[in-house]
Amino acid sequence: MSGPRRDRVLIIEDDALNRELLQAVLEGAGFETHCADDAKTGLQLARRLHPDVILMDVQLPETDGLEATRMLRADAATVAIPVVAVTAHVKKEDEARCLEAGCVLHVSKPVDTRELPALVRGVVARARSAVADRQTS
């Protein structure tokens, strides 16, 4: 028996412990999760899986999370997927850089695991209503 499709989250994070923590929290909250440990793999999975939201670590090897977000924004196949930046930096200018790169939101590490599921649900809901608005206007 298959229920309704669960909201799908793609986690792009190079730190295994962080990745497993985010995955466990979101799976426990009912999300379907997929993981990548670098930007290249993450971009491939984003095109293939069309996740409802991407959690993007900013500090990644080679291509960093902000550059990866710009690439997602530049690709018609992935432009509508909301990206949440996850970073250890807490300065205002870092947050601004995330938003400039096309992220919808910035979350600081360590991520508040109690708030994360509601935060992700909110991002997915806002992206859906933005699509609905475009279709009705």
Quick one: 42 or 51, whose CB is closer to Mn ion?
42
Residue whose CB is less far from Mn ion, 59 or 113? 59
The position carrying tokens 């599921």 is: 117
Candidates 20-28, 58-66, 108-116, 126-134: pick the segment binding Mn ion (CB under 5 A): 58-66
C-alpha–C-alpha distance, residues 78 and 76, integer Å:
6
Which residue from 103, 110, 97, 105 is spatially nearest to 122, judged by alpha carbons? 105
Does 59 bind Mn ion (CB under 5 A)? Our answer is yes
Residue window 13-32: x/- pattern of binding to Mn ion, with contact defined by CB under 5 A: -x------------------
102 contacts 69 by C-beta, under 8 angstroms: yes
